[in-house]
Amino acid sequence: MNHNDNTSLLSLVSAGDVLGQGDLTLGVKAHTLIRNDIISGFYKPSQALRLEVLKERYGISFSPIREALNRLQAEKLVVAAPSKGFKVKPISTPEMWDAINTRVLIECEALRLSIASNDKAWQMEVMKAYHSLRLTQRERPTSDCISGGCYEALEAKHSDFHRTLISACGSEWLMGYASQLYSHTERYRRPSLMQVGGDSARDIDAEHLALVDAALAGDANLACELLANHYRETGLWIQKILEQSSGATEVIKHDRIL
């Protein structure tokens, strides 16, 4: 049984991959592309999303782009003002913590249900996702991981790992909310990661491995505690960056993933 819901992955695939999928509507493609660019920090908080600029960037007509922006507004990634059009939702530390804490509630419940399922296929998928992430980390270039799609590939594996951990919960609602909250927390984490290069004080791989071990051992309480700490430690790191940020937009080399 494949527990991964492909419909929840639309925001995680690259622009090139999306444009190659002929079965997707233009509205879905536009939504995926714009959402990816918001999460990655290509569009800055509060930046105007002008239809003409979006049309030129994605090669998609106005109608599907408007459809995408309306969906993103419903997902609280975009805000609209009468006669002023759309812009990226502003960021704030309280909003970030609201998203992180809600994500912890949703994913811990989904993780408990996944562990309780005692599904051997799920256990194998968790191991596969972890080792795939580790392999991608080892194989990436040692310099400028942003180039050549390396960063996107690493982030896709990272996302897949966390999604797989909760994928046996048996609830489309939990998976859907988890996907939406992922988008909101990632739009804080990824720009911070690009700006300063990661939290060198943490062993992120060890945190991932501890999560896997607890999940496969059937220890739901420990697994949920580890997951909550994993996300909240990242939140503390992001908060520190937000507080220290001078507003610079330069992207620097990084070799860590949270």
For 75-111, the pLDDT digits (tens) are: 999 999 877 899 999 999 999 999 999 999 999 999 9
Is the pLDDT reported for residue 141 higher than 70? no
Residue 112 has pLDDT above 50, yes or no: yes
pLDDT at 199 over 60: no
Provide the edge-to-edge strand list for the sheet that holds 85-88. 48-49, 85-88, 78-81
Identify the pLDDT of residue 198.
Answer: 56
Judged against a pLDDT cut of 50, whether residue 193 lies above it is answered with yes
In the chain, where the domains are located: 6-88, 93-244
CATH classification code of 6-88? 1.10.10.10
Q: Is pTM, for the whole model, over 0.75?
A: yes
In the numeric block, the tokens 């607890």 are attached to 214
Q: What pLDDT is attached to residue 154? A: 83
At 196, the pLDDT band (50, 70, 90 cuts) reads low
The pLDDT assigned to 40 comes to 85
User: Taking residues 112-136, what's their average pLDDT?
Assistant: 96
For residue 145, what are its two tokens?
């991981």
Q: Return d(Cα 227, Cα 111) in angstroms, integer.
A: 9
Per-residue confidence (pLDDT) for residue 197, from 0 to 100: 58
CATH of domain 93-244: 1.20.120.530
User: How confident is the model over 130-158, as a mean pLDDT?
Assistant: 73
Per-residue confidence (pLDDT) for residue 251, from 0 to 100: 34
